Each structure stands twice: as structure tokens, then as C-alpha cells.
Structure 1
Amino acid sequence: MLAARIRNWGFWTSDLLQGAPVRKHCEDIEARLVSGNPSGERLEALLRYAVEHVPHYAPFRGFGSLQDFPVVDKTVIKADYEAFHSDAFAGAHLHLLRTSGSTGIPFAVLQDEDKRRRVLAEMICFGRRAQYHVGDRFVFTRAWNEHNRKRWDVALRENAIMFDVSSLDEARLESLRALLRSDTGIRCIMGYPSTFEPLMQYMERRGDDFEAAHLRSIITISERLSDATRKALQERFKCIVVSRYSNQENGILAQQCPERGEFHLNTASYFFEYLKLEENLPAAPGERARMVVTDLFNRAMPLIRYDTGDIVVRQPSAACGWATDALSSVEGRRMDFIYDTMDRLLSPAAVCNHLWPFTRLKQYQFIQEAKGRYEIVLNGADGNYRDEQFVDLMRNVLGSDADVRVTHVDRIPSHASGKFMQIVSRYRPSA
């Protein structure tokens, strides 16, 4: 506790000596999230800045509203990459943020120093809502390598434990379990849901009643956190469990409410649009929609009406009283969606939720190969379950005429980033 307090004091003292830029961003974020004040003036300022300084947006100098700008995505930006850079930052030192490309198109975005401070403030503010505070000891589970590993002095300053999950065999799961048992200073675990599921199953196989009472929160990232996994983690570790919706290109877009499970959007830093799946028209609350984001703070490389590739469902208002827009669910990347035998779009949850009761599974991966043709890859099913159980279950979900093949393996590898794709879709219906 003392070490965490010293780190917290050191962080804020250092920020104060620099003019308190992070604290000012935190105060702004907190005020806007509590009051619900819109960021209309910032949106207007950003658009005027973009048409003057960013070549790609120069043709829109006579804009009347945000909707006069085109919707863009990674493919569009990569095709005209240099034209998205602001001439106001020519020659300046900028931060380069890369996406892994493990679930989509590899991509890189430039961010200026003020944007980086804003992202840090977002992490602090949303961390507080999950009972994580600057300086707290935490475990960050992901595939660590020479490209993403924190320097030892940075990890020491942040009080971070970098736990590598490139492999999740029983020896590695035991190592993580032992760490959580022995280090009672750990207050938070961050990582992918696909890391926590096998950890819980491993602990169940051991008959472990360990609850890690020193944990305050588990924050999952990058992958969809199912309600079943969230509830199981809460029961196992007796702590707050929330899913954080973020990306490398922007920052924290939303975070799950510990009380209600809805996602509170970061309307302090971004302007959000919810567009229909097949056209650039507004989707209604309760309707599946494409998440389109305008970043209000990145001046080095403004992303205006940026289609994240994610599918969300918006609800009319926050149920718990927060003065923010809210999502009832973040259903995942559109490329992760599958289709039944009648070509009706299904959320990944349609498969994942039905496989949760198979607790002896170590891993599974569902693949749609073509229309009506599917494969379930299973690790840990052989000798515990019959193939027909999975085939019959999937036919109930996908259609009685579904062609479902079961494949047994000893290990399903993750991507180099550590992300594990439980759903792989290789099929798109013809228009």
C-alpha cells in the first residue's frame, strides 16, 4: 500500500511540475461525464482545423455539419495516408500507434503530445470507476515481446507485472494462479477474456477455493466479454469485473458499468455516430449499428467519422444515472459475425453463450467456412464430450441443415498479439 501511495504521489507531483496537463484533462473528463455537457464546440473547432490543415479534408471547407464529411475506415486512410497528416505538425515529434492487424487490417496512427495526455487521463478516469488508481499494483496479461514490452524502469514506475500469455498450457496457468495467491499487493488484473476463461477452468479442475480477496477489479480488453464469463469471474474473485471498449487509434471509447453492465461512452473525448450496417444513415436505439467515431483531440492526424469496424447496440439512456450516452452491448467486429443457413446475421454471442456450459473444454474456435458450412475446433473435448452434442447444439442455432464438422486439437494458437479469435468468419453473403 505504501509503495502504491508513493507512486501515486510521484506521478501527480511530476504532472504538477509540468503545469498539471494530465490533471486538467482528468478534471475536464470527469466534469463532462457527470454533467453530460455535449462537446459541440470542440467538434466545430476540430472540423474547422481539419479543413485548414489536413489535405484530405481540404475539399470540405464549406461544410455545414459533420454529416458533410465522408465516413472513412482503415482502408480509405491507408490509401491516402499522408493526406491525413496535419501540416501544423510537420517536423514535430509525434507518437506512432500501431494496431496488430490480428483481427483486421494492420494500421498506424500519429498522435500529438496533447492527445497522448488525453489518453492517459482517460485511463486514469475510467480506471477509477473500476477501483483502479494510479500507482496500484496490477497484472497485465498479454503476449509480450521485444516490440511491446515495457522497459523495466517503466514497469517499476507503473507498478506493473507483465505476465506473458503467449501460451496457456497448465504450467503457465499454474504460474498465474500462484502469482495471484502469493502477491497480495495486486489490486487489478487487465487482459483478454480468453485468458481468464481457461484460468477459471483450470482452478475448477483443481478444486481451488481461492478467491484472491486482495483484488479490487478485473478489466478486460480487446475481446468481447460474455455475460457468463463476467458473472463467473465475479463469483470466483469477488471483485468488480468490467469490459473496456477501446482501440489503439483513439483511446478509451467506453467502459462497462459495474452496477448495470451497460457501456458508458466517453462522450468527453469523442463524438459518436451509430450508422446502419449497410448504409450511412442513423440507426435507431436497440438496432445493431456500426460504431463511427470522431476523435476530438488528435490534431496531428484527425480521424473524422472513422468507422471502427465494430458493431454495437445503443440504448436510449444510461440506466444507472450517468449523464452519458450508453450502449447495451458491444457485439464485436463485423468481421467476427456469422450467418446461419438462411444468411441471417448472427452475433458471436449466439455461439459463445451456448458453449459456456462445456466447462471441460480448454479452448474452442468456431469457424464459418461458407454458406451453411461450419467447423468447431475443440481442445479438451476428446473423452469428455461426444461430437454429436456440439453438432446438434449448433444446428439448433444455425439451422437444421447446417453442415457442422468437429475437429479435435491439443492447442489452438493465439495471434502474436495474444488475442485469441474464438469466432472466425470466412464467409460473406453475395450482395
Structure 2
Amino acid sequence: MKRGLITNIILFLLFAAFFTPAVLIQRRGLENVLKNPPFQETWLLSSRSGPMLRLMSLRYDMVAADFLWLRAIQSFGGRGMTNRDWKPVYNMFDTITELDPYFEQAYTFGNLVIGDEGGQQTEGLKLLRKGMFNLIRQYRIPFEGMYVAQWSLRNLDMARWFGRMTVKRPDMPDWVPRVVAYLEVQAGEFFIGYRQFLSNLLQAIDAEDVALQGIALNKVRETIDKLNMFHLMQAYDEYTTATGAPPGRIEDLAGMPALQNVEMPRMSQVMALIQKYARAQGKQGVYEGWKDGIAMPTPDQIAAVELVTTATEGQTRMLPLEGVIFQQSLDKRTGIPEEPHGTRYVLNLSKIGYPWVQKDELILSAAKLQEDLAGLLKGVRDAIAERKKELGRNPRDLHEVFYTDFNTTEPFGGKFNYDPTTGNFTSSTFPKL
């Protein structure tokens, strides 16, 4: 025991003997560094200097560009963009890319320095735009432009433009189109986004990539749902404008102009087409595990699909059929659209009539509204249980729980029931929930 203690003490003393001098040496070195004056950039370019330096470099343009690149890195590392006029820094990166138009890092790093660090996102984008047209085969520069435009400038239209440039680049990774399609859907260009996600789904089926199938299928379903909701909310506004009152049932919207003869895809039809064309190629189609929560076609719906033989002859892949499947999945319908999760659309009656409620809360899928109802029931039941602890008995009514009348409307249009004998709180629509 004593021997072990002595060993530990000796080890501790050795550690302290070596570690303490190391700390002191490091501290002394830092103090010496702090005594040095901050880096002062003396090469401040007051204007665009590319043409002049190209002449002065005597055809050694890239050497001059590399020299300026080193100066730019030193300048940024020395002081960053704090308390600095961004224009000379922009001029430096602009000059570098004039001398060497194919210097990709100069565009991206320049955007970082000027835009992210300097706060001049518009000027940073100007540099990226310049690089995008000089480096026409690389995706990275327009992709960064898309990112800056969307998530820094909140300019969706500009982000979509950069995105469309990005997907045309040959070195583009396969995940980029999904990001671009997301932007299209956000902008209300549902058909563009839907077609891209459909293409991703067919590509995943060809590759037998189960994970990518799940991602793409979810995006197809989400896009169709957003398109349906767009038309349903238009119909909702038309109904309230025409009647001066909110609808009492989802069916009240079926006769509104926004839902008359509207061309849109149906999830069940998409699944029927994929299944029929996949079988024609001897493939499984969509992975069985992803079919839960999807509006699936009936056997008659699958049988009714007419294969376009001119497109399928000799074809062993699904992706080339994307245009055919896209066109066949669209049909003109009147009335309440099909809910792509396999349930139905319903009005959330507990939210209607309140001006602060977001529009996307007014119409939901039946499954989502049932989830909301379950959450509401749990909240009230928890409040009843808490009040019961305080009283030592079941509350006589909900007024005794909330100290006011309970006026919340049952989301499906049913009634809430409270039994003071058992303390149970239920919904008449789903009494077992």
C-alpha cells in the first residue's frame, strides 16, 4: 500500500516538473507574440487593377495572381475584416481572378472574406457570379452562390437561378438536384420540384438503393401534399370571401373554382405507374417497407395503367421513363384532391375562426389531425390529474380545472366528454384515443 502511494507521488512530481516549465515557456512565447504590431496591409488596391497588372506581369499572369493570393491570405489572417473597408479587399480578389480566371479557390475564399466575414454578401455574390461564368464545368461556385442567396440574403428567386446553373455542371454530385428541387417547391414551382424528386426515385429504383428510395419517395409525397394544400387554401379563401363565413366541412370547398378541373399528380397513380413499369422490366419497384403511409393504388387502378410501348421497348432502366411517368401521373380532377399519405384531408375545426392561427393549420390530413387530437387529450388529462392531486378528488367539471369554461372545439367536429366520476376525458370522434 505504502509502495503504491510513494510511486504515485513520484509520478506526480515528475509530471509537475516537466509540465510546469512547458506552461511557462508557452506563456512567454504568447507574450512575445502579443508585443508584435498587428499586420497592416500595404497593398490596398483602390480600384480594379487586373488589366494594368496583366500588362505589368509580362505574361506571368499566374505568378502575379499567386503573389496577390498570398498577400490576401496574410491580410485576412492578420486582421480579418474587422474595422476594414471591404472595397480594397474585393479589388484584390477581383484582380487575382482577372489575372487567373480559373483560380477556383480565389472566388470561394473571396466570397468568404467579403461576404461572410465582411458582411457584404451582395459583393461576395458578384465575385461568385464572375467565377461561375469563367469556370463553366465546376459546380462548387454556383452552388455556393445558391447557398448565400437562399440562407444569407433570403432571396429565393436568386437562389433558384444559381441552383439551375448548378445542376448543369458535369461534376455535380447526385444530391444537388434534390436541394434545387427543394427551392423550387419553396417558390411554389411544385411541378418542377415534383419532376425532379420523381427522377430521384426512379434513379434509386434502378440502383436498388433502398435509403435513397425512402428519401425520394418522401419528397414526392411532400411535394404533392404541398401542391394539394395550395389549391385547398385557395378554395378556402374563395369560400370565405363568397359566404363571409368559414366552411364547416372540407366538402364545402369542393365546389370552389380553385378545385375545378385542376391538373395535378396523385400519389396512388404515381405508385401504380411505377409498379406497372417496374414489373414490365422485371423489377420490384418501390421497396415494400416504404409503402406505409402512402396512398396506394387499387388493383383496378394498376390494371388501368397503359404502358407506352414506344418508351419501354428494349428499356432496362426506369430513369429514362421519367418523362412518360411524369405525364401519365397528371390528370385533371374536380373536388377535394387525394391525400398522399393514404388518409383524407379534413378541416381542423379547433383552429378555425382564430385570426392568429397560421393557414397551414386549418387543413390537415386526418392522420395528422388525429395526432393533434391525441396531444390535446393528453394535455387536458394531465391538467385534470394535477388538479386532482390538489383537491384530493376528481374535479367536478373542467371549469374547476382551468378556472374558466372549456370552450375548445373538438378538431373533427365531435364533442369532448368529461366524466367527473372517473375523471376520464375523451373525444366522441375517437372515444378510445
TM-score normalised by structure 1 residue count: 0.25
More strand by share: 1
Q: Which has the higher contact order (CA 8 A, sep 6+)?
A: 1
- Greater Rg by CA: 2
